[in-house]
A and B are shown apart, each in its own frame.
Chain A
C-alpha cells in the first residue's frame, strides 16, 4: 500500500518555465489537497478537490492550476515559474473532508532560479 506518491522529489526550474507536479493516491480517497511549505511559515493550502472533476482554490492559488480527472490523480501545474514559487510542495488526501486525518506524500522540493 503506497499511500500518497509524489513525483518528482526534486526539481530546478528556470524563471518562466512550466512544470507539473504529479500526485497519486491508492486509498480511494475523495478529498485531495496541495500545500506548499516554506521555512518557518507552516503549510499553506494551494488547491483542493472533493472528488473527480471538482476542484477549488485554497489560500494561495495564484500561479498554480490543478485538475482532477480521476479519483487517484491530482496534478499541480505551475505556469511561468517565479522565484516566489521556490518551496516544498506536499500533496495530501483524506477519506472525508471532516475530522479525518490528512495523509501526506513525501513532497517535491522545487527551486526556481
Chain B
C-alpha cells in the first residue's frame, strides 16, 4: 500500500517554464513533508521541506504548496533551468521521524534548453 502517491512519473518542460510535481498522502498523522532532488549517479539531497502549520514555503525558485484539507502537497520550480533536470522525490513522516519516512516513487524532470 503506497501511502504517498507522486505524480507525474515523468515531466518535460521548456527552459524558463514552471515545473509542478504533486504528492498526495493518506495518513493524517504525517507532519513533515520533505522534497529530495537526485541527479544521475548521486544520492538524493534535501531540497526543501514543510510542516503543516504553513501553506507555502519558498526557497529561491523552489516552492512547496501544502493543502492540509486535501492531503496534498506540491513542488513548484519557477523559471526551470536545464540544471534542474533530475529526479524529485516527495516524502512524508509522522513527527518528522526520519526512520518512518514514506517516499513517493519519484518524478523524472527534464528541462529542454
Contacts and interface: CB of A to CB of B under 8 A. Distances in A.
A91 to B, nearest CB: 8
Counting chain A residues whose Cβ lies within 8 A of the other chain, the interface size class is 20 to 34
A104 interface: yes
Contacts of A40: 9, 105-106
B43 A42 contact: no
B45 interface: yes
A21 to B, nearest CB: 13
A17 B44 CA distance: 29
Contacts of A92: 43
B89 A42 contact: yes
- Which has the most chain A C-beta neighbours within 10 Å: B9, B42, B49, B98? B98
Interface in B2-33: 9, 32
B67 interface: no
A19 to B, nearest CB: 20
Contacts of A1: none
Interface of B: 9, 32, 34, 36, 41-46, 49, 51, 89, 95-99, 101, 103-106
4 tightest Cβ-Cβ pairs between the two chains A and B: A104-B43, A99-B96, A101-B46, A42-B103
Interface of A: 4, 31, 33, 40-45, 48, 56, 58, 90, 92, 94, 97-107
10 contacts: A31-B99, A42-B89, A43-B44, A48-B98, A97-B98, A98-B95, A98-B97, A102-B36, A102-B46, A106-B41
